[in-house]
Amino acid sequence: MEDIVALGRRGAALSNSLRQSRGELESALLIERGTQRFADRLEERLARTEAQKARALVLVGSLQQEVTQVCGQLELAQGQLARLTAPKPGIARRLFKALGRAQG
């Protein structure tokens, strides 16, 4: 569960970083308008930012699948544990009967 919270924080940080990067790129466009060098740098930076976003989305999806699997395993383990620890119906009655017969 902590991994999901940390992942959410990381996703928010990446989103904020993406917004900040886009804002910086827009400002740079106003300053260096018309130059091919600027256009090349802008495209490279946007591609890197989009690649980071894509990697983050893949990571989120992977972690969601892992959480789903772990939850399934946990439910299975809890069911098995419940079957192991659950008393059989009537066991106390049978035990008392057996003790009563042994003493009587």
What amino acid is encoded at 73 in this protein?
Q
Q: What is the mean pLDDT of residues 42-57?
A: 93
pLDDT (tens digit, 9 = 90+) per residue, 19-34? Answer: 888 888 888 877 777 6
List CB contacts of 53: < 8 A, sequence separation 6 or more. 14, 18
Span of 12-21, 46-55, 95-104 with lowest mean pLDDT:
95-104
Helix, strand, coil abundance in the chain, percent, nearest 5: 90, 0, 10
Q: How many CA atoms lie within 13 A of 51 on its CB side?
A: 6
- Residue spans per domain, the chain: 2-103
Q: Three-state DSSP class for 87?
A: coil
Nearest to 10 by CA among 59, 47, 51: 59
Measured distance CA(54)–CA(10) in Å, rounded: 14
Q: What is the mean pLDDT of residues 40-49?
A: 91
Q: What is the pTM of this model?
A: 0.42
Joined together, the tokens standing for residue 28 give 């740079």
